[in-house]
Amino acid sequence: MEYNNQISMLKMVFLMLIMMLGSQSEAQLNSDYYKESCPTLFYVVRRVVRRAVAREPRMGASLLRLFFHDCFVNGCDGSILLDDTTSFVGEKTAGPSNNSVRGFEVIDKIKSTVESLCPGIVSCADLLAIAARDSVLLLGGPGWSVKLGRRDSMTANFAAANSGVIPSPISTLSNLINRFKAQGLSTRDMVALSGAHTIGKAKCATFRNRIYNESNINPSFAMSRRERCPAANGSGDDKVADLDIRSPKMFDHSYYKQLLCNKGLLTSDQVLFNNGPTDSLVVRYSHSIRAFYRDFARAMVKMGDISPLPEPNGQIRNNCRRPN
């Protein structure tokens, strides 16, 4: 009897330790992380992002996409920002990012400004998370409380970035669902996060097949897109088109309204509304901007929780492009 009691006590202690470790891990990311160590952080980031978006509204979409690419490869650790070194190849030249992701100079500006005020305090990974939120806000979208306390990776993972963890513009619905599920994100999260395509542009090479060969596309929409995207591969590959033709500079819900009319620019857009299980969510978001904003904000917080590097792992990079 005494032996059984001892076993029970040990089990209870073990469970308590697990719960304590779990709560500590969660507590390491919180919105007040820099409240004392860098109190002007949010103001500084907002100011730099505001100027960048005022100069070029597309930059808001670019900064949001940077955060997405960062989090989907080994978690939200700032690795997408690293240039190549003699010891590793960065993620910038991996297939999904090469000549596609942009906005690095804006993060550089944010980092240099923050370093002048709070040297060695704020990680590049956290700056990217704040910049993504501010980009959405400045283009008229929802806000959310950004959880902070991530550390920066000291290396990048070119192979992982090339492995398919980042869904391609020609993804099927099942592929999208599975890729997001692998990151702990639900189908609802995936459909909501896809709404980020209410801003930004895509290159001709990513939507050529859709506008010339797919049948679930509005004919007049396809014709208008063909004007800037020739049929021949290699011809006009880098020409761009707005992902949202209704309000390309506003973060609203018109993206979903386009899908109802078969006007999704990318294959991976239109599969969300194509007689499948996500049709009802697209309809809901097209009718209710509040529902879209709520679910998008929640999904962004969840995405920001993907495998962060809490203390004492990683480092606080002095320069976001290279390890210290």
Cα-Cα-Cα-Cα torsion 274, 276, 280, 282, nearest 10 degrees, comes to -40
CB within 8 Å of 104: residues ≥ 6 apart: 66, 81, 92, 320, 321
Active site residues: 69
Q: What are the two backbone dihedrals, phi and then psi, of residue 159, each rounded to the nearest 5 degrees?
A: -60, -45
List C-alpha distances in Å: 223 to 208, 213, 227, 257, 271. Answer: 11, 12, 7, 19, 20
List C-alpha distances in Å: 265 to 63, 119, 193, 291. Answer: 20, 43, 16, 23
Answer yes or no: are the C-beta atoms of 261 and 268 closer than 8 Å.
no
Residue 319: beta bridge partners? 322
